[in-house]
Each structure stands twice: as C-alpha cells, then as structure tokens.
Structure 1
Amino acid sequence: MLVKVRYGESQKYVKVSETEEGYESYSTFLQKVIEKLGLPLQSELHLTDESGTEVDADVFEELLQAGNLTVKVSTGQSSVVLQNVSHTLLESDLSDTSFSFSVTNASSSAVSDSSDARIVVERDSGVKRVHADRESAKEMVRDVLQSKLGGEKILQEYATTTTLMDGTRRQMVNLLVADMMEVHGRIPPTHVRETCALGIITLFPCLRDPYSKNGYEHYYDADGGSGYLAWRIKTVQRNTAVQSRRCYPSTTYQDGPKSKRDFLLTCEQLTGEECREAISFMKHSTDESVVKEKMKATFQCRQAMTRDQQASSTVLDVFPGFLDVPGLVDQDFTMMFGEEISGKMLARWPTCFKPRILADCKNLHSNVHVDDLLSAQQNSNESGWDSDLSSILLLVHLLPPTSKGHKKSAKMSSYQAVSHVVRYLKIGASVETFLSSLEPGQPFLLCVGEQKNYIQRFYVIVDHKAIPCKGQTSMAAFDELFKAHFIFSVNYHESLTSFYTFIQTTVFNIDIGSAKESPRVKELRARLLHTDIWSYIHHWMQIC
C-alpha cells in the first residue's frame, strides 16, 4: 500500500506494509515519514487528509482500507486565544515550517476581517522575531570567527565536511569564549552564552543535537551550567583569577538502569504465597516454556528485589532460571519497555549507526587498537573481533573515558575500557575457573570460541555468574549485555558511562531529555544523525 505524503513543496510516496492483523502501526508509519522526509528523529508530526481533517491512530487503518489516501504533514502548531476585543495571540511551538491555520470564535459575536488580519500579522511577527534572533546569533558567531586568527579555517572545514573535528571544535570554542570574556568580562551573562550556543548550531546546523530541548545544550546548558562553552569559561576563570563563586541550579536527571520506572505489564503478577510457590517450582522445573511463563508472572517481585540493597545480590540465586534458560534477559527488558524499544538495537545498528561510526573514525588518531578494529571491516584481521562487535567497540574510542578530577588517579585509556565491555576465552578453557578469578565489577560480555571472530558461545557475566545469551551473534549478545544493566538495576561501569548512555538514549531512545548526557555524547549524536548516510558510506569506501 502506497500513501502519498505532502510536506511543504515536497511530495513523496511512503510504503505501508501489510501484516497478519492488517497494516503496520500508525507509529511505524510516522517513523517512516520522518526517515523519508529527512526530519529530526524526535519531530512531532501532525497529519491531515486533503479536506484538512486530522488523521490519527484511531482512523489510520480504516483510511488505508478505503484506498487512495493522501496526507499533509506539518511539524508545528500554534494555539490561538481570543481575549475581549483585542484578540491577543499566544504563540507556542513555532517551527520553521510554514503552515496555515483557522480561528473559530465560539461566542455569539463574530470576529471581523480586520481582527483576523491582525492575528495573522501578529503571528507572522512572532515567527519573524524568532528567525531574526537566530540570524543575529549566527552572524555574531560568524563575525567573531572571521575576525580571529584561525577562524576562517573553521568555516572552511565545515563547508567542506559538514562537521568539525574535535580539535577544530575546541579551537572554535576557545575563540568564542575569548571574545565573550573580552566584551562582557570574566562572567559573561547567561543570555550571551545562550546566544553564542544558538549561533553555533544556526551557523553550523549539522552540529545541532536533535534530541535535546534547544539543540545546543552540548555547547551551553543553563540549567546545569555545563557544555563546552561553560567548561571553557570555568577553565579561563581558574587560570586568570579566583574561582567564580557563582552557583548553578542542579537539574534532576534519571539514573539510567537504576531509575524507578512504570512497567508495561501484559500479564497478571503473582504475590504472596502464590509468588513463593512459583519461585520454588521454577528451581526444579526443566520445562523452558513453563519457566518463561512463571518468570513473566514474577517479574514485579524480581524488580522489587533488584532495588532492595540487601536482596539485590541474591536475585540470581532466587531466580536461577537466568543461568539455564536463554532469553530471559530479553523477556524482562521487553516487559519493562515494550517490544518496539526492545528491538531497536538489532534493527537500527547495522544500517543507521554502524556505517556512520565507521566513517567517523577517520577523525580518530590512528593507533594499533583502532586500526585492528577498523581492519575487521575488511576481514583482514583474522585474530580480531568480527565486524559488528568491532564497530560497537569503536564507539568506546569515539566516547573515551574521561578523568574525574582526581589528579593522583591515572586516566583509563579506551583500550583498557574495552575490557570492561567484552573479554575472550579460548574454547576448552574452564568458564568456572575464569569466573573464580574475577574481581567484583559491572556486567560484561564473555565470548568463548576458537578465535575472536569465530565465537561458539556468548555469556553475560553478572555477579560472578554466567548468563547464557539467546542470540548467537556478537551484536545480539551485546544487546543482551546492555539490557542486563536495566533488569538487574546495575550502574554502568564508570569508564563506560558516555558509551552506554549513547546506546541508551540515541540507539534505544530511553530517557531522552531526562538522562544525564555529557556534551561529547550530544556532539557525537548531532554529528552522526545530521549527516546523510550515503556520504558516510562514500567516506568509508574511500578509507577502505
């Protein structure tokens, strides 16, 4: 089934697949529209048919069955409030996309043509004002860069590559902060910092983070006093005078895997004596299908245990099914978030993220570890990991561990951090002996095989116990490793916080806007998601 989609002056067909129940879901269709039109992933779409009637999930399938469906897409809407005779316009959620709207007066008095005209003019003025602010901020940043030594090279690099390398980005931030402090003093006002950040993403639109509120929080976030601009200002202040005593209000963030959540429970949960009987039954049952059903019915009890400091360490003892029945990790995660989110890693990594990450690694400083991972893409490294796992581990190098400010503690390298994601064990070696030699730590993936790129068995290691993976590919095994953090309520390893947070928010779309993300995570996301996939593939083919 083909649906004709109109967006501004653009008109395209979007294919809707048939399923056993009818047609694919409304949300899947919206995602296809976003991808087809090249819109930001978190765009809020509003659909209407040719008559202007809204098309929503309730009527979507019936309209498809009727055939010959054409929909008009818009990405923003405004709310109009009429007050006495002045008809004041309150503007909200204005987007750059042009759209039409009508005003209906429910009272007995009619709205005059002149009043209608005034409303349109006031709304247009608001759009123009927002546009003018962006243009002013953009020109401010451009003027600073053009007037400073090295600024033209920054503009030229973006014009050539539509992105900025890490070193170039640092140079740009240094130039802009130097100008801010020269004009506004040691403590530039918040609005000046925000204007500068807005100017950066307006002048360089591919640096905008599509998942954050304003798109520029990785350069300046007023709520937390963080971002590249804020950090540079603090560094200059430390080096030139007494540390500023200015305090920033803290933002409340969710804590990733340990955050308390509402679950998408689809089956009745057992409590009290019934729950205890089910747990006892599972310990002695060898019927995997029965164990899986009992595990579903005791999910809520298990989650309560993971959040109890004393009981959390005994979860695998109380529920030993994890150690015997593959697939229970994925089953629990799906009960937490639903099938759509649960399947995002396997669905999106190969086509959306892997080629972009491989090509982006051209900006990394070459070393033997990065070269080994890249060579796996050409099947030229017989002793290295396979192509999929290598691409995941390259993300660790793109989001390396950061120092925590303790001068006496050595910063962990990306190569060292990789060992906290995955380890290799030669087939024939004892897994039990390996587990007994481990120090306490966070979950990681254990791969057992003849060589790294030919693995026979995958395990997720949690609390010195080996949970067999259901998936028999490295990507499916890593998918279960990530999910294990959530179902056992375990924090990410400190050196891998940025790495796992990227997977959480950008790949799985969990806690978008509420999870605490470093500016480097937001910057990488903006760089990857704002560049056309084919240009990445072209760059990668050149590298190969």
Structure 2
Amino acid sequence: MVTPSEPPKCPTRLDLCIHDIFLCVLTVLALLGTVIFCLLHPQRPEILLSPDGATWQAAHWSKHDAKSPPSSNNTTQVIISLTQVTAELTRGEELSLNFLLLQEWSDPRLIVRDGENGPTVQNIEAIKGNGAPIGIWKPSLGLAPTHVADKSTEETWLSKDGRVFRSQPLTFIVSPYRSTSEYFINIFTTREFSTGAVALTWDSLDGRNPLSFKNSTLGIAPIVRGEGLQNSRLLYTTGHCEMTYRATSLKRSCLQVRFKLEKIPTLYPSKDLVLYFLSGIIFCLVPSSFLVIYFVVTLAVKVSEVKMTKLVRVCNLARGKKLIISSGDYEQFLRSVKTKFQVETDNDIILEDDHGAEVDEEVFPILLDQGIIPAITFKIVGEDAASDGSYTPQCQQIYYINSPAPISPQSPATPASPQGEDYFKQALESYIERKPDLKELVSNCNAERLVDSAAATKLINDFVSVLIDLRGDLPSTSDQLRFAKAIIEIIPCWKYPDSIDGIDILYDTVNRSGLIQTRLRWIHRNVKEKNPLKSLKRPVASGAGAPISNKQDGHVQIAADDIAIAELNSSLPEDEVRRLMIQTLEHRNYLRGTNENSVLRVYRKFLECGFLINFEFQLMFPANAAKFLDTWETLREQILTNCKRISKSTALHKFINDNAGNWDRSTGALLALLYLIPPTAHGRGKGARCKIEDAESRLVKYFKSGTPLQSILDTWDSDISQPTLVYLGDDKTNPSTFFIICDKLALPLNASNSTEAIDSLFKAHYVIGTKYDQNLDGLWKFMQIHVFQLDIQNTTLPRKAKQVLQQLSSLSESN
C-alpha cells in the first residue's frame, strides 16, 4: 500500500516580515557606511601623471577653488621680475617700454602626485580636466600708469613641486615725473588688496637681478634713442611704495621701478689733438700734395667743360635743321653754324629764338643755361626772306601742299594772314596723305561716323606730333585751339554736339582735359624727368557738378519752422505731408545750400514715404522732373546696341557678354554706361581710384527677397556714404522692391520698375544735397547734362563723358 507524500509547508506571514526587515537593515547600514567613509575621506582635486607618462591630467577639478589664493591662513608670496625690457622715446619726452612681467608663486594644491616620471614642467594649457584645460588661481595685478597687455601670448607653467610661473607681455607709454627725466611704474594687487592675502616681492633671491634688458651688453644699460633728441642711457632702480585702499583707508605695500634717462655727452677731439693730427698728415703728404692738386684742378676743368657742352637745334627753312654742339662761345657757335650749313664765311648771320627774338652775344650763354634750350633759327643778312626762310616759329618741318614750292608757316602774331586758319589743316592733310594706315583710319572714322577709344589714341598721338613739329614742345593756346578746329574739319564726326565750335573733346578751355592738352602734358612730364623745371600752374575752374551747386555765398539764413517740422514728422495723411513739404521747402533749400545740417536728420519723413524724393525734386526743378523717363528708353537702347563699338575695353566686353543679361535692361544699360565712363584718378591726397567692380557696388546692389532691411544696414560698407540703389527680388532681372541707402539710412521708393528707381536715385543727390560719389562723378554728370539738363553752364563735364556723348550722338545721326 502506497502512502501519499505530504506537501511542503508554506512560510507564514511572520516569517516573511522578519526576512524583509533584515534585508532593509543591511542596506541602510551599507549606505550609512558609505556616507561616513566619504565624509572621513573626501575626494580632493589633484593632478596625476597620465597613463602614458608623457603629460599630466587633473581629477575632481570641479572642487578646485580658482578664486582663492593657495592658503587662507598664510600670505601667498608672489615674486616679480621684468625681463626683455626695450625702451624708446616717442612724442617728445614720453618713454615707450615693452617687457615681459614674470610672476612666480607656490600653490600646494597643484603638487603633482606620483610624479617621479614624465616632464618636470608643464604648460597649464596642456593639463586636461574632463577633456578641457583646467583653471587655477592667478594673482590679480594692477599697474600704474595704464598699460596695454597682449593676452594672446600670455603663458602659465606649472612645476611638479607646485611652483607656478607666469609671463605677461606689456606695453607702457610713460610721461616724465614732474617735468624731470625720471619715470616710474607701480605694481600692486587688486582683488586681494584689502585682505592682504597676497604679498609682492622683487626677484632678488640668490643675487638675481629683478630687471633685465633685451639689448644690454655686459650688464650695461641700453641706449635710448629719440627722433631729433640726444641719445640717452636708461638707468633704473627697484624698490617698494605704499598705496591706500580708498574704501577703508587701508595701506598696503606695492612694488615700484624707477627709470632715469642720462644723456650721453658727445665726444669731440681736443683742439691740440686736431692740430697734431693735421700736422702729421701734412708732413706725410707734402711730397705728393702738389700732384694731387694738379689732378684735382685738371679734373674740375674737364668736368666744367663737359657740363658747359650743350646740344642746340638750329634750323633754316631753305637749308633744313641740324644739331650743333656749343660750349657757350657765341663766335665759335656762329662758325659752327656756317660750317654745318655750308654758308660762306664772309656772310653775316643773325640768330633768333623760337619766338622771333634776336639772340646776341650777351644773351646766348644765358639761353644755353636754361633747362630746355629753344630751337635757334638763323637768317643770312642780305638774302631774300622768301629764299632763306626768314623767320618762322620753330622751322622743324617743311610741308609741300599740292605744289613743289614750300609753304611758309604764318606767325601767330599775324592771324589775319590768308594762311592763318588753313595752315594746320593743310599740314595735317599732307601728313595723312604720306601715312597710308593713318589715311585709312581717318576714312573709316568718317564712314562710320564714330571715333572709338583705340582710334582716338592713335589719331591724337600722330596729330600732336605734327603740332610739335610745327610749333615746338610748347605751342601756344591759340595754336592748340586752331589745331583742334583743323582736326574737326578733317574728321567732322569728332565734333562735340553741345558746343558752338565742337572742339571740347580735343581742346577744353575750362578744365584743360582735352585730348591735345592731355597728350602735351604727358610729353612735358617726360621731358621734365630729364630736365626738371619749376612750373607755374594756373588754377582750374572747379566744376559745380555736385548737386549742391546752388550753394551761394552771403545767403540769408532761414529759420526752421519747428512746429511745422514736428507736425510733418508725425503720422499724417499724404495730402497733409505734401502741404507741409511745400510750406517748409525754403528751409530745406537753405540746408542744402549751406550744408548746415543734413536734410535727412531734420526731415525724417523721407525715411517713411516713398513718394517724397520725386515730389521734392518736382518742387525744386518742375521743368526737368520728367526728362529722364521721357528719354531713357531711347538712350538705353543706344547704349546697349553701340557700347561695344564705342569702346574696345576688355572689361566692358566681358560685362556685356557675361553679366549684362543677369540684370534687367535699364540696369544693364546704366552699368554699361559706367564701363564707358569708368572711375578716374582723383589726384594726390583725394583717395585712390577704385576698381570698376567696386564702382558697380557703389551704384546698385541686389539682395534676395526676404532679406531683412536692418541686416543690410548693419553690414553696409561704411566707405559708401553717397546714395546707392538697392534692389530686392527673386532675381536681378525682375526686382520688386527698391530702396536708396545714404549714410546708412534707408529711403523707400514708390517705384514699379528699375527705370523709375534709377530716376529717383539721381534725383536723391539734389534732394538730400550731397555730392556725387567721386568714383561715379563722370556717370552722374553725364546724366545731369545730357539727360536732366541741369546747371549746364556751371558744370564741367569730364572729357570721357564728352567723348561718350559725342560718340552716341554721331551714331544716332548715322542711324
């Protein structure tokens, strides 16, 4: 019989409670033991040797107090020294000092543990704590007077035994103390001044010197040099000073170094020593002194003869021209002329300069001493004037015009002669006939009714050489004027349309920038480099091309209507704004005329209303307000069609081929016109000429739609202060929003397209009362004269702008 086994007994509830209580007690005891252990053995920040033994690393560094000195009970001693000291006198008696400020102290918290191996000194930047450089306490020092610190090269080094070394490059400009030759620098603590936890001492331990110079030799103090001053030796002393903490009147010790400049006396040899030395030289050199004197005198004579020898250009219309060497002897020169030109020795000759004045024996040597010797014409006494050439101003070249008989040029003194006006034309036609390539170039220009830039350069170089052959290196203004008229008769398409005689491109009576004048100046400049002469320059009439040309002297001051201006700058409907703008127009004209104050600063409504630029210009110039919109479309197409014919500039052709299509047609034409009238040199002291690409950015800038206007103003180039057009849109060919930025102020425009925006951009110069950007001066003056027709009589149009105007006019007539 099988007896069933009994099931195991289940634990009672009491047994389970005892078991759980026992586990909880054990857990609490373990946690309590851990806390007690941590309290008895707290984790402290320390620096340990890295596993690779090559560097150091920090542990628990978050517990390090980098704001407190190493010891809270004892005073921390910081040892100070100055090294690599250099000095220089600047701005009179001020002393410029450069040196390294070295500091050394001990910090027991930084002693490296287990540091038998590895480096003995480590840069603090190389010690890592949790992946980043550690921070340690450093003394906070102040120096008087104020100094400049180069923190980028400051270094801090840590030694294994806890010593810290710190170097700081400093620069001082120190004034002398109470008008003496002494200077001082004080070094003191700042953060720990009131507590006295830090004390500064000079590094004089073991006989070390607390100050060392960079360029000293054998311990001698360096020499300090100053511009225009006597050299001095720099001496110094180090010591202590006392400073008072203002808050508590607490006094603490500080370090002081005093410098003193000791002038170095100039040593001169004594009188007896000089006499002894000279007597010795004389005694030794007596046998050869006479020989030396002989050679010196002979050399001086030879040099004088060479210096007096000059080349003189002599001419006679019947006998040609020759160069003759002369030393200033008048009679010898006459004999040389007769020999060179094969004139009978019994014949008497008379010399004349290039203006027909007789040159006699008394004047001839003085004439040779001039920097540029004029050409000498000679006449044979008794010969017929028609056969010997008589007098002709600079008989440089003989021209034969449809006849083998020579033409006798007419003197400027007799302009009423039948040959007076036609002489230059005949000479030019004869010259062109003898130059097939030049004849073809003139024929092509007249056929195409256009003289482009390359053709203008070639023609003016050749033509001016003819003028110089006829009238010498310094032709008179009347000769240049008549010569320019002769060129216009030969090449009629070169005539400038906006003047009576049409010679402004060739000869500019106001601005002296004609092609003939420019070429002559270039020739004279090259001549002056070899024969410098003091030249007198007449003042050039300054063109009033700036829009503030309405500025007048002695104008009546117009007081501001403060009530009207305040009302105008408030929120108003458009019709009220227009009424108040008309009411205050005279005051704005006064501001524009005197430049007393900026219109934009007083009348802030220009920064809010997009219609005000055009409305103000309409009030100022009612007859000229619509001229741009009426003529620009035709002018735009002329520029885009003919610009590549007008100029062979590589930059222009690259812009037309690659970039013009990126803009809408009006903006493309405006930029093409800028390439035709590029920035020019401004003259000495007036700023450099900018590149054509930079000039583009001064004219118009494009930004993507959605670009914040404030970000545009914040990043605006401060050098661009004149009105500049700003486009916003999806691309350059279809701008949707327009602004004008002037002096970093944004003026909105109610323009529906770029043509209206460009119209407002020009008008803004007059409305604001500002001058043209000097790099865009030629472009805007072209617009002012040719398009808006403003202030024509008082504005000097640059030559390049005149050329473009003449070329466009000629091409439009031919079409």
Normalising by the residue count of structure 1, what TM-score does the alignment of the two structures yield? 0.66
- Equivalent of 1:219, from 492, 506, 515? 506
Does the CA-based 8 Å contact 2:559-2:587 persist in structure 1? no
Match of 1:455? 735
Match of 2:794? 514
| Paired letter, 1:459 | F
Does the CA-based 8 Å contact 1:333-1:487 persist in structure 2? yes
| Paired letter, 1:436 | D
Superposed displacement of residue 472, structure 1: 1.4
Match of 1:256? 546
| Paired letter, 2:548 | K
Residues in 1 aligned to 2:551 and 2:682: alpha-carbon distance in whole angstroms = 29
CA displacement, residues 342-391 of structure 1 (integer Å, 9 cap, x when unaligned):
111111111245324531333434657754546788xxx4xx11011101
Residues in 2 aligned to 1:327 and 1:412: alpha-carbon distance in whole angstroms = 33
Report matched runs for 1:32-71 at 5 Å: none
Does the CA-based 8 Å contact 2:452-2:807 persist in structure 1? no
Report matched runs for 1:193-272 at 5 Å: 193-241=480-528, 242=532, 245-248=535-538, 250-251=540-541, 253-260=543-550
- CA distance 1:182–1:309, shift in 2 (3 Å): same
Match of 1:399? 677
Residues in 2 aligned to 1:327 and 1:426: alpha-carbon distance in whole angstroms = 23
- 1:429 paired to 2:707: yes
Residues in 2 aligned to 1:442 and 1:362: alpha-carbon distance in whole angstroms = 32
Residues in 2 aligned to 1:258 and 1:466: alpha-carbon distance in whole angstroms = 21
Match of 1:144? 431
Superposed displacement of residue 426, structure 1: 0.8
| Paired letter, 1:304 | Y
**Mean Cα displacement is larger for which, 363-372 or 171-180?**
363-372
Match of 1:327? 611
Tell me the secondary structure at the aligned position of residue 460 of structure 1: strand
Coordinate RMSD, CA, aligned = 2.9
Does the CA-based 8 Å contact 1:148-1:175 persist in structure 2? no
- CA distance 1:244–1:503, shift in 2 (3 Å): farther
**Mean Cα displacement is larger for which, 137-146 or 481-490?**
137-146
Residues in 2 aligned to 1:284 and 1:233: alpha-carbon distance in whole angstroms = 60
Residues in 1 aligned to 2:770 and 2:610: alpha-carbon distance in whole angstroms = 20
Does the CA-based 8 Å contact 1:322-1:329 persist in structure 2? yes
Superposed displacement of residue 136, structure 1: 5.5
Match of 1:527? 807
- CA distance 1:132–1:511, shift in 2 (3 Å): farther
- 1:304 paired to 2:584: no
Superposed displacement of residue 500, structure 1: 0.7
Match of 1:284? 570
Residues in 1 aligned to 2:427 and 2:575: alpha-carbon distance in whole angstroms = 64
Does the CA-based 8 Å contact 1:211-1:513 persist in structure 2? no
Tell me the secondary structure at the aligned position of residue 496 of structure 2: coil
- CA distance 1:431–1:172, shift in 2 (3 Å): same
**Mean Cα displacement is larger for which, 234-243 or 287-296?**
234-243
- CA distance 1:473–1:235, shift in 2 (3 Å): same
Residues in 1 aligned to 2:474 and 2:439: alpha-carbon distance in whole angstroms = 27
Tell me the secondary structure at the aligned position of residue 550 of structure 2: coil
Tell me the secondary structure at the aligned position of residue 563 of structure 2: helix
Match of 1:158? 445
Superposed displacement of residue 154, structure 1: 2.2
Tell me the secondary structure at the aligned position of residue 445 of structure 1: strand
- Equivalent of 1:189, from 463, 468, 476? 476
- CA distance 1:173–1:364, shift in 2 (3 Å): closer
**Mean Cα displacement is larger for which, 203-212 or 407-416?**
407-416
Tell me the secondary structure at the aligned position of residue 490 of structure 1: coil
Does the CA-based 8 Å contact 1:358-1:374 persist in structure 2? no
Does the CA-based 8 Å contact 1:427-1:448 persist in structure 2? yes
Residues in 1 aligned to 2:685 and 2:769: alpha-carbon distance in whole angstroms = 31
Residues in 2 aligned to 1:223 and 1:365: alpha-carbon distance in whole angstroms = 28
Residues in 2 aligned to 1:249 and 1:519: alpha-carbon distance in whole angstroms = 18
Does the CA-based 8 Å contact 1:218-1:227 persist in structure 2? yes
Does the CA-based 8 Å contact 1:223-1:249 persist in structure 2? no
Q: Size of the alignment, in residue pairs?
A: 391
- 1:350 paired to 2:628: no
CA displacement, residues 292-342 of structure 1 (integer Å, 9 cap, x when unaligned):
121121111112223444522xx223212112212211121122222x311
Point out where structure 1 has 5 or more consecutive residues left out of the alignment.
1-128, 263-269, 536-544
- Equivalent of 1:361, from 644, 648, 656? 644
Match of 1:418? 696
| Paired letter, 2:607 | L
Does the CA-based 8 Å contact 1:237-1:243 persist in structure 2? no
- 1:177 paired to 2:464: yes
Residues in 1 aligned to 2:708 and 2:787: alpha-carbon distance in whole angstroms = 35
Superposed displacement of residue 254, structure 1: 2.2
Residues in 2 aligned to 1:408 and 1:294: alpha-carbon distance in whole angstroms = 40
Identical-residue share of aligned pairs (%): 24
Superposed displacement of residue 531, structure 1: 2.9
| Paired letter, 2:576 | V
Does the CA-based 8 Å contact 2:445-2:493 persist in structure 1? no
Report matched runs for 1:19-34 at 5 Å: none
Superposed displacement of residue 483, structure 1: 0.7
Tell me the secondary structure at the aligned position of residue 419 of structure 1: helix
For CA contacts below 8 A with separation 6 or more, give which structure has more relative contact order.
1
| Paired letter, 1:279 | I
Tell me the secondary structure at the aligned position of residue 618 of structure 2: helix
- CA distance 1:136–1:532, shift in 2 (3 Å): farther
**Mean Cα displacement is larger for which, 276-285 or 302-311?**
302-311
Residues in 2 aligned to 1:371 and 1:465: alpha-carbon distance in whole angstroms = 33
Match of 1:495? 775
Tell me the secondary structure at the aligned position of residue 341 of structure 1: coil
- 1:472 paired to 2:756: no
Match of 2:125? none
Does the CA-based 8 Å contact 1:285-1:291 persist in structure 2? no
| Paired letter, 2:574 | E
Residues in 1 aligned to 2:782 and 2:510: alpha-carbon distance in whole angstroms = 21
| Paired letter, 1:390 | G
Normalising by the residue count of structure 2, what TM-score does the alignment of the two structures yield? 0.45
Superposed displacement of residue 429, structure 1: 1.1
Residues in 1 aligned to 2:607 and 2:755: alpha-carbon distance in whole angstroms = 20
Match of 2:765? 485
CA displacement, residues 115-168 of structure 1 (integer Å, 9 cap, x when unaligned):
xxxxxxxxxxxxxx9999766554443333333474213212213311111111
| Paired letter, 1:212 | S
Residues in 2 aligned to 1:155 and 1:365: alpha-carbon distance in whole angstroms = 18
- CA distance 1:359–1:234, shift in 2 (3 Å): same
Tell me the secondary structure at the aligned position of residue 361 of structure 1: helix
- CA distance 1:531–1:130, shift in 2 (3 Å): farther
Match of 2:4? none
Tell me the secondary structure at the aligned position of residue 198 of structure 1: helix
Does the CA-based 8 Å contact 2:445-2:451 persist in structure 1? yes
- CA distance 1:347–1:217, shift in 2 (3 Å): same
Residues in 1 aligned to 2:498 and 2:651: alpha-carbon distance in whole angstroms = 34
